[in-house]
Chains A and B, each alone.
Chain A
Amino acid sequence: MRVPMSWLREFAAVPGSATGRDVADRLIAAGLEVETVDEAGADVSGPLVVGRVLEFVEETHKNGKTVRWCAVDVGAEHNEQRPSHTDDGSTTMSRGVVCGALNFEVGDLVVVSLPGTVLPGGFTITARKTYGHVSDGMICSARELGLGDDHTGILVLRPDEAAPGDDAAAVLHLRDDVLDIAVTPDRGYCLSVRGVAREAATAFGVDYADPAGSGVDEREDDDADGSGYPVRVDDADRCPVFVARTVTGVDPHAPSPRWLQRRVQLAGMRPISLAVDITNYVMLELGQPIHGYDRDALTGTIVVRRAEDGEKLTTLDGVVRTLDPDDLLITDDTGPIGLAGVMGGGTTELSGSTTAIVVEAAHFEATGAGRTARRHKLPSEASKRFERGVDPRAPWAASRRVVELLVEHGGGVADSGMTAVGAVPPATAVDIDTTLPSRVVGVEYTPDEVTRALTSVGATVEAGAGPTVTVTAPSWRPDLTDPYDLVEEVARLRGYGAIPSVLPMAPAGRGVTSGQRVRRRVERAVAAAGYVEAPSYPFVGEGDFDALGFAVDDPRRLAVRLANPLSEEQPLLRTTLLPGLLATLRRNVGRGNTDVALYESGLVFRRGPGTLPRPPRLPVDRRPTEDELAALEDAVPEQPRRLAVALSGAREPAGWWGPARQVSWADAVEAARAVASSAGVRLRVGNDEQAPWHPGRCAALYVGAEVVGHAGELHPRVVQALGLPPRTAAMELDLDRLVGADEDADAPVRAPAVSTFPVATQDVALLVDSSVPAADVEAALRAGAGELLESVRLFDVYTGAQVGEGRRSLAYALRFRAPDRTLTADETTAARDAAVAAAAERTGAELRGA
């Protein structure tokens, strides 16, 4: 809402010394979000005067442009000694001005910026030579003056508006401060000068004159004898009040007064015609949306009713709209003529020939009007107001004000009759304990202050039992329905600055949960291992799954779909972190960050193949039952937290120490081990085949018997499809399963017995088939070696002629130690032999050189 200060001052006796900024500061403190104070017209200075065109010569120049060389009377004070002839044959002094516009006649009043004038945009006017003359000023268009967009010609004033030499800035009402306020949904009354002025008057503690007077004029209500335009309301819930008045004999060519145009324009609307400008003006002033109908285009009774399914209406913006049975309509015998509270229809629109006008000022229920506006994506000035709550008592005063202005400025005659259907809904009364504001806000308010504050916002306060009072909100404050709403009024009128700062004492908490601790540990470990965190958007599309090579029946294709995605290519929610992470990797490589290792920790969204269940619509006036909440919870898709890494280029760069080490499948697996070890979980690795990994370089990651993720080098086809560097590697695992995997994770670790007896080492080289995983051989060695085994380490892998085709040699260093003695050579050998025997039995390993 944009409120010109001159308009606000009509109703609030704000001190003359208060600037727009001062008023804005008070309003902000009272809870209105004043975003800016526009100093309209402040960018115009210098001699801007009214001039009369005395004569002109039209000249066409070599460039094809026609200009007028004008003699302009700009008043005695400003005229040069340059005599010119006037219409009536007399002679007067003037200035010579070249003008490129052709939309004026001799004798017209125009606006002349004389040399020294500064126009909006810092445009300084000087006397300059142009088209063979010295132009001693400029005749201005509306746009050049900051008066809107009209630049089709110069601005021509009406003959009775001013005289040559007058200060044009005053004539045009150029200068005004405008408060630009973002009105929150609870303060619909501030979508009017009336409401903002009331707040300003309260904030300054000065007198306020309500432009709506007392609202409903009871006497006039009695005059609603049916002699007005016939109206019938079929849906009184959605339209509790409908007031109609008629004005006839309006001059369709009568212009809007300059001040009215200027205020409408400063408020952010475009001046159009007298009748339209007046309806807008009154809406801005009182907050009551007004609709004007061309009476001669109306046929029969105006009926307010719901739309029938499939009914159509062409709205004022020329769009044909198919209506919903929930839409409330204004109709006549021809059918729909308006979307109630949102926008009128084209057939009864006020036009350039309208002389008889039916003025509608009705009250439409807030949520219904809001639904219709959203359904048709038609947020209008009217719907914006109805949706936030309009004063139901305003239609009488607003329609009367429209009629007055049409009579005064359009030469019209008000019909004696009027129509008023329905009644103002009774205001609800709220009981409030006058100690409540103090208890909620933490500031002491006396019962007297509470009563005064509520009275000053327009409420009536009646004493009740004990500390309780009964408060009836004013008709323009439909938002005041709860005691807490009243608390806010009390608090904001004293000011939030009065609230002290007191730190509450929370009881001893439980700290972060074990899951939260593990997540922090894991993410730090991954970052410490050289990975950079890169969170990505969760939006994916089928194309991402195709590129990753997911089979048609891959469960990861079962994704939650958005009804209104930002991009039609990505309407799904991710079931894996990889699409986003790999896109980020590619972006980095494209920017020259070629050696890159990334990680992301985030939620993925899983679902089964069936239809998603719909969560129940639960009540809000009580706590839902456990069963109701369980049903709600069941309908929310599973959202496990996963952690993924992706890396390409060099894992260790080339340097003076030697060549680079390129990223390989092993880095991705090692990342998983780092995650598991920081989470305190034993991870087992097995060979696997799983998209999008290289089928021969893909590791399944197990915790216990459960696969918690995969790691390895990406499939070459995936690398190609996604435009990734060759040999890009990736890992993804389910963090939640890691956190939950070890139930004893929070139990204290049992300390090991650290033996101080000497270690005995034995190296063994085992020959196995190449298909035997090294992890299996190691597991067998561990199992066979018994309790004396301290550690096993694979220190060499050999393939070649010496071991034969399809075989390989795995060399292990075994370390043995006893807790209570020095091991003898026989004991060590026996343990080694047992380990080798187990490996032989489980994996067919042969001891090399045996």
Chain B
Amino acid sequence: MSAPNSEYDPVEVSSLHPDEVARMVSDALSAFEAARDLDELKQARLAHTGDRAPLTLANREIGALPPQARKDAGRRVGAARREVGEALARRQAVLEAERDERVLVDEAVDVTLPWDRAPRGARHPLTTIQERVADVFVAMGWEVAEGPEVEAEWLNFDALNIGPDHPARTMQDTFFVAAEGADGADGADDSGLVLRTHTSPVQARTMLARTRQTADGSGEPGRGMPIYVICPGRTFRTDELDATHTPVFSQVEGLAVDEGLTMAHLKGTLDHFASSMFGAGITTRLRPSYFPFTEPSAEMDLQCFVCRGASVGDPERPCRTCGSEGWIEWGGCGMVNPRVLVACGVDPERYTGFAFGMGLERTLMFRHGIEDMHDMVEGDVRFATAFGMEV
């Protein structure tokens, strides 16, 4: 920078006068404040900060001032422009916030309008209860076993100690597959095949698979003992469909074969199962009964999970679920008959086993208050939809 020019002839520039600058600032601030929206603010911005704005012009005139005056004027105009710029930014922020606010209000909708374009599906409770049961047992280390629905009579009956003359093997109970000409070998006039009447053949299949011998080196040998399996599935009996019967129904059975298993283990398993399905503390009760494939055998009652027995003998508090009995008949069980173990290759001197089974339609009926079997089998979408994806 050169030395100050003392010869310089000062020219009076009115626009740089302090009062004038203050007026420009004041005009600008008023204009910004008066702007009601961002468009008006834009106009005000152009008018007060644009190329032709008084403060802009004043700024340009600073150079025309004598050196001694420049510094002062420059400071003054600079401060003024800063003040105007800050005021503009403040107003801009306020107006933008107002605009955003208004847009959100304008865009408001009725969120209660339905948007049910994608229909809801559902799984059938007979399927989901099977999964639920399986999960209870898988959590204890059990596995889930399955088998065919058309089954060899030997597996459905003989292997389970239900001999050829057993009353259960009649056309009144069992669907037989039609024979197709006599087998030359033994002159049989039946097919030797049935629609399985229970899921018990899966138990026999499991034991046979575990005791598989491969002396000739073919295939994989069986995994051996112990066995802890649960067998859910569809079963068939020649009942006509009515409010409480269906010819096609579902069962779940459990089988455990191990060293040292007793009826106490059976009871413990059933109690755990009952409380898992019906609530903590719900237990079971065993009553002596008879099944060919178990010995000793028992009927199993479930403690009523609704009244927990409080309705018994109290006419003031009748319980529809258990008929005020306090217990609900749930299934059959027992210790696996050693004859069954022998037929399936398990050494009855070393191992004992227990088995249990229950009908899933019946379980669903009392668990969910289903009053008519027709609802369970007819496939009306309103029925399954009520249960959703789990039971």
A residues sitting closer than 8 Å to B (CB atoms) are 28-31, 33, 184-187, 367, 370-371, 374, 387, 439-443, 482, 484-485, 487-488, 491-492, 496-497, 499-513, 516, 520, 523-524, 526-538, 560-566, 571, 573, 584, 587-588, 591, 593, 595-599, 601-603, 605, 611-624, 626, 629, 632, 635-637, 639, 651-653, 655-657
Contacts and interface: CB of A to CB of B under 8 A. Distances in A.
Contacts of A524: 123, 389
Interface stretch (B18-26, B64-72, B83-91, B141-149): B141-149
Contact of A499 (B263, B299, B378): B263
B128 to A, nearest CB: 9
B182 to A, nearest CB: 8
Contacts of B141: 505-509
Nearest to A437: B296
A620 B290 contact: no
B121 to A, nearest CB: 4
Given A512-B134, A588-B379, A535 B269 contact: no
A184 B290 contact: yes
Contacts of B144: 512-513, 516
A593 B380 contact: yes
Interface stretch (B35-43, B93-101, B154-162, B363-371): B154-162
Nearest 5 Cβ contacts at the A-B interface = A31-B288, A442-B262, A442-B264, A623-B345, A534-B379
Contacts of A619: 343
A587 B117 contact: no
Nearest to B208: A629
Interface string B185-221: 1101011110100000000000010011110001000
Contact of A620 (B161, B256, B265): B161
Given A374-B167, A441-B296, A584-B378, A563 B191 contact: yes
A30 to B, nearest CB: 7
B246 to A, nearest CB: 8
A584 B378 CA distance: 7
B116 interface: yes
Nearest to B283: A501
B167 A370 contact: yes
Nearest to B207: A623
B123 A527 contact: yes
A584 B214 CA distance: 47
A735 B288 CA distance: 43
B339 A620 contact: yes
A343 B175 CA distance: 28
Given A504-B269, A535-B379, A653-B119, A488 B288 contact: yes
A620 B262 CA distance: 24
Contact of A492 (B127, B134, B143, B296): B296
Contact of B337 (A185, A484, A496, A657): A484
14 contacts: A488-B297, A502-B268, A504-B269, A508-B141, A510-B143, A516-B134, A523-B127, A527-B389, A536-B377, A562-B178, A584-B379, A603-B234, A656-B113, A657-B115
Interface in B146-185: 146, 148-155, 158-159, 161, 163, 165-167, 170-171, 175-181, 183, 185
Contacts of B119: 530, 595, 597, 651-653
Nearest to B298: A496
Given A612-B191, A652-B117, A653-B116, 7 more contacts: A29-B288, A488-B297, A506-B226, A506-B228, A510-B143, A534-B124, A632-B155
A520 B262 CA distance: 34
Contact of A488 (B126, B214, B296, B384): B296
Nearest to A619: B343
Given A487-B296, A533-B384, A620-B343, A500 B150 contact: no
B193 A509 contact: no
A623 B123 contact: no
Range, interface on chain B:
35 or more
Contacts of B272: 503
B238 A535 contact: no
Contact of B159 (A367, A584, A599, A620): A620
A502 B120 contact: no
Given A538-B248, A614-B188, A184 B289 contact: yes
B102 interface: no
Contacts of A503: 140, 265, 268-269, 271-272
Nearest to A387: B167
A510 B288 CA distance: 34
A632 B161 contact: no
Contact of B287 (A29, A442, A613): A29
Nearest to A565: B175
A595 B269 CA distance: 45
B209 to A, nearest CB: 9
B287 A523 contact: no
A620 B213 CA distance: 17
A561 B177 contact: yes
Interface in B231-245: 234, 238, 240
A302 B237 CA distance: 42
B343 A485 contact: no
A381 to B, nearest CB: 15
B265 A504 contact: yes
A491 B186 CA distance: 42
A390 B177 CA distance: 34
B265 to A, nearest CB: 4
Nearest to A658: B117
A731 to B, nearest CB: 14
Contacts of A587: 378-380
B342 interface: yes
B357 interface: no
A492 B289 CA distance: 9
A499 B264 contact: yes
Contact of A615 (B114, B152, B214, B240): B152
